[in-house]
Structure 1
Amino acid sequence: MDRAIVYLLLTICTMTASRVSNKRNIVFIFADDMGWNDVSFHGSDQILTPNIDLLALSGVGFGRYYSHPICTPSRSAFLTGKYAYHLGMQGYPLSLSEDRALPVDEKLLPEYLKEAGYATHLVGKWHVGSSRNEHLPTSRGFDSHFGHRGGYMDYYEYTVEETFSPVGTVSGFALYDNLTAAWDVEGYITDVYTERATSIIKNHDESSPLFLMVGHNAPHSSNKESYLQAPPEVVRQMRHVELTSRRMLAAMVKKLDDSVGEIVKALLDKGILDNTIIVFVSDNGGMTSGQYNNYASNYPLRGIKMSPYEGGVRVAGLVWSTNLNNTSHYWDGYMHVIDWLPTLLSAIGEEVPSGIDGINQWENINNNAPSERNTIYEIDDYTGYGSIILGNFKLITGTPLQSYSTHQGADLRGVIGKAPSYTDGIVNSTVYNVLKLFGRQFDTSELSMRGKYVIECDAASNTICFPSNETVCLFNIKEDPCELTDLSEDYPELAEKMKAMLENEAATRIPRKVPAEYDPESIPSLHGYTWTTWLPDDTSST
């Protein structure tokens, strides 16, 4: 081969390697069913989350971060940059016995990142398809997956129970290390996931950038016979929390916050914290009552998980990076879970794909500029409701479940004696010490920043509006974030305009399978008492 050609090839390889090695690492952490009022940077001292808080207060916390109100739709949207209803993944979440998944012809975020030279790893929850091998994380762009494929599992036994008719309740093991059931693993699952995540960071080959997604089980409820699970010694640390149920949730959140601290410390120990983007979000609002109740609280926001009200869709979110210029450490622009794919790709210098719903928000967050997003849609053709946010206004149509659409959580706020010191919690946290060692010591006088997140309203002051198939509810969510006052009669033209926009958007949806189909061939007793794939890959879709 000609020397000039050899030299050119070596130069190209060197430039490519340099471009890859200089890309920022990404660590994306999902909490599961964590409510607006379950993180202390939103203003409450009942449950302290100092590690999460410090990432927001020294990075950028979001005042108006939105997601789909259910876990399968929100994860589908994150991975694709598309609304769940454009994927057929809207509505009630996937069961482990259901043959439904993210379409295999959709390109996912880890696939984009692999093309950009990233090592890609998922620790924890998947929940976007597990009936066939082609639906699993290692077939969708992840180099490895250690975790659960469904919506939740027992925190110690790693089992999931589902009810079939007429069979009854069945149970199976649900923790996997890639394609192998992880029978030999022991421990509280939040700790187990933390250990695996920090091990991946420790052993990462820095010749390529790292994408690590951590989908915690916490604080989602477990099987119905034992909804809330936490180590007894941690529960005892929460004795200031009045109600036993809320005390258990507080302990689960405490372990989650500890995990965030350990992951940040692992990045420091590895020497890559300065070149890492860290994101922490909840997948949807908390489940204060009803099925899979975990006593999370979205107070004072109205509604819970599985509802289109603010408590179901307006959730905790933040981003941390040394490359952020937003010195206010706060961003009040609209951001939706679909925006992460284009935003993260932009942050690492990759081209943003066309044909998605997400908007690149990196520069707006970075420079504390107004959001590029003015409209947010929510369409659930399973339950039968829709909503649209347009500027400061929100319209809700259809028939969302009323039991999930009220103001809940006021009774969960009780504290025995005095709440723990927020300042002490901050200065004794892992992330506080990491920032000090990192040369970015946090000034506790800046703790007043969390006042920007506080929402106050009198949830008993108005007769609240419920929509129907004939009526709508219209709220000014900037002035009335708790959705107390219906304005549809005051602004009929705006209500009609927003309703028409929502109807036009609904016409673009891919209908969801209704009802959910439970395949008896998936029963764990047929597969060594594990929840595993039971169908061949669908060659017609490839």
Structure 2
Amino acid sequence: MWHLGFFKTEYTPLKRGFDTFYGYYNGMVDYYDHTSGSPFFGYFSQIAPHIGNTDPFQAPEKIVRKFSYIGNKDRSYYAAMVDALDESVGAVVDALNRTGMLNDTIIVFSSDNGAALFGEGLTGGSSWPLRGYKSTLWEGGVRAPAFVWSTRLKKRRQLSRHLMHIVDWLPTLYSAAGGNVAQLGPIDGFDMWRALSEGTECPRKEILHNVDPNNKAMALRVGRYKLVVQAPKNDTKLKNNRHPMKGMDNPLDDLTRLRARSRTAKVFKSLFGNLRFETDKNWTQEATVKCSPEASIKPPEKGPYLFDIEQDPCESQNLAASHKRVLRVLYKKLSGYMSRMVASRARPADPRAYPENFGGVWSPWLD
């Protein structure tokens, strides 16, 4: 998915720095060979576990049956789609290996937001045990898992708790490829390569999650503290509370066997020999977000909300009343961001863009 605008050709991938593009312009729509002698950047936006309309997931029943032990139809279908995603990632890794490029490739796997638990985008996903979900400013909406694989990593098999924003990938990967980030000019992103590869201090100290002038929803993270000025307009207790994962009473414990059977594992075995895929239980536990199941999350109708995310990742204890100095500091920083905002350029839907005007496909319409 491109999902970054296409109303004019100049906004499409081939006019924005990409040499090739195979995919969808839109973000809500139901290769891998490259010359090994030259470097490349490949962006693969898999839509298998994503949904953009009310149609159900299109997963083959034989794959869905593999996950019947979960005991929940939505989660079983979701697991089947993730299984297809895993297979597609394996296909890319396999292609990189066959072309002799895998050993000199950096692979980043990441999500873009929390799970959609309600409404049109319902997928069977889960943000448990975090509070909130997709489209909210709580951690369940803005926090996403990611991992980096590369033979270039100096410290491997480590868990990073560094603060990182999606805009950091540009300077990070540019730096890892040998580029001079200073030559990129004034950008918002930070070079995180040494922090990820060597475990050095994180250069990023804060993240502006969002400022939505329409419903006055704003959130800012500075160090360990997070400020949510006001929850969204329709902020019912559904968006405030945590939502237990469906089918969570029947987990699959044998992750080692599951990992060893994957297509990616087969590629790694052929490249690096007889690897072991045992799970380090301490490492797994360290990566698990832990929240008290008894945590009471019943905030007042209006904020502000202040949380210590390092100690309270599930945002159950509002510290606004007891940490007023911290609250003032974050408010001041938020005001600084708002003073530099530019007016939104979002426009209402334009019927001239509809696919029926272009042979049934999405296409630039204002050239």
Preserved contact between residue 256 and residue 278 of structure 2 (Cα < 8 Å): no
Pick the aligned partner of 2:330 from 498, 504, 507: 498
CA contact (8 A) 1:459 1:482 kept: no
Structure 2 contact 109–148 (Cα < 8 Å) conserved: yes
5 Å-filtered alignment, 1:19-38, equals none
Confirm or deny that 1:444 pairs with 2:273.
Answer: no
One-letter amino acid matched to 1:313:
V
Partner of 2:35 in structure 1?
205
1:415–1:259 distance in 2 versus 1, CA, 3 Å: farther
2:260·2:266 contact (CA, 8 Å) conserved in 1? yes
Equivalent position amino acid for 1:405 in 2:
K
Q: CA deviation at 1:410?
A: 0.7
Cα distance, 1:328 vs structure 2: 4.2
Among 353, 362, 372, the residue aligned to 2:203 = 372
1:480-506: per-residue Cα shift (whole Å, max 9, x none)? 000000001110111011011111112
Given the superposition, is the C-alpha separation of residues 523 and 427 from structure 1 closer, same or farther in structure 2, using an over 3 Å criterion?
closer
CA deviation digits over 1:447-505, x for unaligned, max 9?
3222221112135421433563xx31000111100000000111011101101111111
- 2:256 alignment partner in structure 1: 423
Cα distance 1:336–1:432, how it changes in 2: closer, same or farther (>3 A)?
A: same
Q: Confirm or deny that 1:528 pairs with 2:359.
A: yes
Q: Is the 8 A contact 1:522 1:534 kept in 2?
A: yes
Residue aligning to 1:219: 49
> 1:415 offset after TM fit, Å?
4.8
Query: Structure 2 unaligned runs (5+)?
Result: none
SS in 1 for 2:69: coil
Give per-residue Cα distances to partners, 1:114-143, cap 9 Å, x unaligned.
xxxxxxxxxxx1001011111111111112
CA distance in 1, matches of 2:12, 2:3: 9
TM-fit CA distance, 1:510 = 2.2
For the structure 1 residues 473 and 276, does the alpha-carbon distance in structure 2 shift closer, same or farther, using more than 3 Å as the test?
same
1:474 counterpart = 2:306: yes
1:142-161 to structure 2, matched below 5 A, reads 142-154=18-30
One of 308, 318, 328 as aligned partner of 2:147: 318
SS where residue 317 of structure 2 aligns?
coil
Q: CA deviation at 1:234?
A: 1.2
Asked if the contact 1:407/1:459 (under 8 Å) is kept, the reply is no
What letter is aligned with 2:14?
A: T
Q: Could you say what secondary structure the match of 1:148 adopts?
A: coil
- The amino acid of 2:130's aligned partner reads L
Gaps of 5+ in 1: 1-124, 155-195, 537-542
More relative contact order, 1 or 2 (CA 8 Å, 6+ apart): 1
| Deviation, structure 1 residue 440 | 5.8
Partner of 1:93: none
Whole-angstrom distance in 2 between the partners of 1:359 and 1:368: 15
Question: What secondary structure, in the 3-state scheme, does the structure 2 residue paired with 1:240 have?
Answer: helix
TM normalised by structure 2 equals 0.92
Which of 266, 269, 273 is equivalent to 1:433?
A: 266
On the 8 A contact 2:227/2:307 being kept in 1, the answer is yes
Is residue 53–residue 120 contact of structure 2 (8 Å, CA) maintained in 1? no
* Structure-1 separation of matches of 2:273 and 2:201: 27
Alpha-carbon deviation of 1:290?
Answer: 2.4
2:284 is paired with a residue whose SS is helix
Any residues of structure 2 matched to 1:312-351 within 5 Å, and which? Answer: 312-351=141-180
Q: Kindly state the Cα deviation for residue 435 of structure 1 after the two structures are TM-superposed.
A: 2.0
Structure 2 counterparts to residues 8-157 of structure 1, below 5 A: 125-154=1-30
**Cα pair distance change 1:464/1:372, threshold 3 Å:** farther
C-alpha distance in 1 between matches for 2:189 and 2:322: 32
Stretches of 4+ aligned residues off by more than 4 angstroms: none
Q: CA deviation at 1:441?
A: 4.6
Q: Would the aligned equivalents of 2:36 and 2:100 in 1 still touch at CA under 8 Å?
A: no
Q: Which residue of 2 aligns with 1:388?
A: 220
Aligned partners of 1:319 and 1:413: how far apart in 2? 29
1:533 offset after TM fit, Å?
1.6
- 1:58-104 deviations in Å (ceiling 9; x for gaps): xxxxxxxxxxxxxxxxxxxxxxxxxxxxxxxxxxxxxxxxxxxxxxx
CA RMSD of aligned residues (A): 1.9
CA contact (8 A) 1:381 1:511 kept: no
1:145 partner amino acid? F
AA paired with 1:462?
A: S
Percent identical residues: 30
User: C-alpha separation between the residues in 2 aligned to 1:510 and 1:437?
Assistant: 52
